[in-house]
């Protein structure tokens, strides 16, 4: 319920002027509604808000958008969406923005070998964004063939299935034996974390953008004494909504292939089952 776009049907006092919106405009809102009072909000680091961390669909103060209407709180960070971006594509602004943030955290350089582990909606967004950075090589990993094909369409140079090949060995072969310079983890699977630590080169940059079901145990000696790695977390999508909209307008990502299913809201359960199954879908949208 935090990835959405809609039509403005009402405006509170001053809201139109604040966000450049008028009735009838297409609009969206960043997933976190900041308190604007805590230390992080006052520093402009609103995605780290320490006062409730209200996310649409996850808190009582911020109901989600799987409904006919949604009321955006006064502290929300809202954006006008260009009319040229269709609704079923505009709902991808939020996950694309998250992918952009992860890639920005990776600080990709022109000579880097970049591995992105996981090619769901977030992973392919990272592949497409990394492609714009023009590194030496982008390698995408996933267990599902249709997602690997999509990663190719988004700009991956090489795709691999960890169930079919020794991806650690193959990445080393493609990088003169050193391993990847950047590893972006977006599966939420502990195996992918340890795989990345084995695969990454010394002085590499490991970006974690996942939510795990349980704590993950790793060999911290690899991080420190062995490889002196730069471990970077990534969360949400700060300051990247305008970039995502620009990418969609410029058709820098094959959005028609990413949004695999567009369902009416009353088929909510079918949509959830498609996402849970994962063998046919990538991004599923619901329209009231």
In 3D space, the residue among 140, 135, 137 whose CA is nearest the CA of residue 151 turns out to be 140
**pLDDT band per the 50, 70, 90 thresholds, residue 59:** confident
Q: Report the distance separating Cα 42 and Cα 266, nearest Å.
A: 41
193-245 pLDDT per residue, tens: 999 999 999 999 999 999 999 999 999 999 999 999 999 999 999 999 999 99
Mean pLDDT (whole number) for 99-117:
99
DSSP letters, the chain, are: --S--EE-----TTHHHHHT--TT-EEEE-SEE--S-SHHHHTT-GGG--S--EETTTBTTB--SSSS--PPPTT--EEEPPTTS-HHHHTTHHHHHHHHHHHHHHT--TT-EEEEE--SHHHHHHHHHHHHH--SEEEEE-S-HHHHHHHHHHT-SEEE-TTTS-HHHHHHHTTTTS-EEEEEE-S--HHHHHHHHHHEEEEEEEEE----SS-----HHIIIIIT--EEEE--S-TT-HHHHHHHHHTT-S-HHHHEEEEEEGGGHHHHHHHHHH-SS-SEEEEE-
- The per-residue pLDDT for 235 is 97
pTM greater than the 0.85 cutoff: yes
- The per-residue pLDDT for 185 is 99
Separation in Å, CA 286 to CA 62, 82, 283: 19, 20, 10
Residue percentage of the chain with pLDDT more than 90: 95
Q: Report the distance separating Cα 188 and Cα 146, nearest Å.
A: 19
What tokens appear for 168 in the block?
A: 């650690």
Q: Report the distance separating Cα 220 and Cα 212, nearest Å.
A: 18
**pLDDT band per the 50, 70, 90 thresholds, residue 257:** very high
Identify any residues that bridge with 283 across adjacent strands, giving them in sequence order. 259
**pLDDT band per the 50, 70, 90 thresholds, residue 162:** very high
- At residue 90, does pLDDT exceed 90? yes
Q: Which residue has the higher pLDDT, 100 or 280?
A: 100
**pLDDT band per the 50, 70, 90 thresholds, residue 139:** very high
Q: Report the distance separating Cα 181 and Cα 203, nearest Å.
A: 8
Query: How many residues in total does the chain contain?
Result: 288
Domains of the chain, earliest start first:
6-95+239-287 (3.90.180.10), 100-233 (3.40.50.720)
Phi and psi at residue 152, in whole multiples of 5°? -60, -45
In 3D space, the residue among 104, 107, 137, 141 whose CA is nearest the CA of residue 123 turns out to be 141
Q: Report the distance separating Cα 77 and Cα 65, nearest Å.
A: 15
- The per-residue pLDDT for 60 is 76
What tokens appear for 238 in the block?
A: 């700060």
**pLDDT band per the 50, 70, 90 thresholds, residue 53:** confident
- The per-residue pLDDT for 43 is 98
Mean pLDDT (whole number) for 140-156:
98
**pLDDT band per the 50, 70, 90 thresholds, residue 19:** very high
Mean pLDDT across the chain? 97
**pLDDT band per the 50, 70, 90 thresholds, residue 138:** very high
**pLDDT band per the 50, 70, 90 thresholds, residue 52:** confident
* Burial of residue 84 (number of CB atoms within 10 Å: 0-12, 13-18, 19+): exposed
- The per-residue pLDDT for 61 is 80
Q: Report the distance separating Cα 125 and Cα 123, nearest Å.
A: 5
- The per-residue pLDDT for 16 is 96
Helices 121-133, 145-154: axis angle to 10 degrees equals 30
């Amino acid at each position: 319920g935090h990835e959405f776009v809609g039509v403005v049907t009402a405006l509170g006092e001053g809201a139109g002027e604040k966000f450049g919106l008028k009735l009838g405009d297409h609009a969206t809102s960043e997933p976190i509604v900041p308190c604007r009072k805590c230390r992080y909000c006052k520093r402009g680091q609103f995605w780290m808000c320490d006062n409730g961390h209200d996310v649409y669909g996850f808190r009582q103060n911020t109901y989600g958008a799987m409904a006919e209407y949604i009321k955006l709180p006064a502290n929300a960070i809202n954006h006008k969406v260009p009319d040229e971006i269709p609704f079923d594509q505009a709902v991808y602004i939020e996950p694309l923005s998250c992918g952009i943030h992860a890639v920005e955290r990776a600080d990709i350089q022109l000579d880097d070998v970049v591995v992105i582990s996981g090619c769901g909606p977030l992973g392919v967004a990272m592949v497409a964004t990394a492609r714009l950075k023009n590194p030496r090589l982008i390698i995408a990993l996933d267990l599902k063939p249709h997602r690997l094909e999509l990663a190719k369409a988004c700009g991956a140079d090489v795709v691999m299935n960890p169930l079919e090949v020794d991806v650690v060995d193959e990445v080393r072969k493609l990088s003169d034996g050193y391993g990847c310079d950047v590893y972006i983890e977006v599966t939420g699977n502990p195996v992918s974390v340890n795989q990345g630590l084995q695969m990454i080169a010394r002085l590499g940059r490991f970006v974690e953008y996942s939510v795990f079901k349980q704590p993950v145990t790793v060999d911290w000696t690899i991080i420190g004494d062995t490889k002196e790695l730069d471990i970077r977390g990534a969360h949400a999508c700060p300051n990247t909504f305008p970039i995502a909209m620009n990418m969609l307008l410029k058709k820098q990502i094959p959005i028609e292939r990413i949004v695999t299913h567009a369902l009416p809201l009353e088929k909510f359960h079918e949509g959830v089952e498609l996402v849970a199954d994962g063998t046919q879908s990538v991004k599923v949208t619901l329209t009231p």
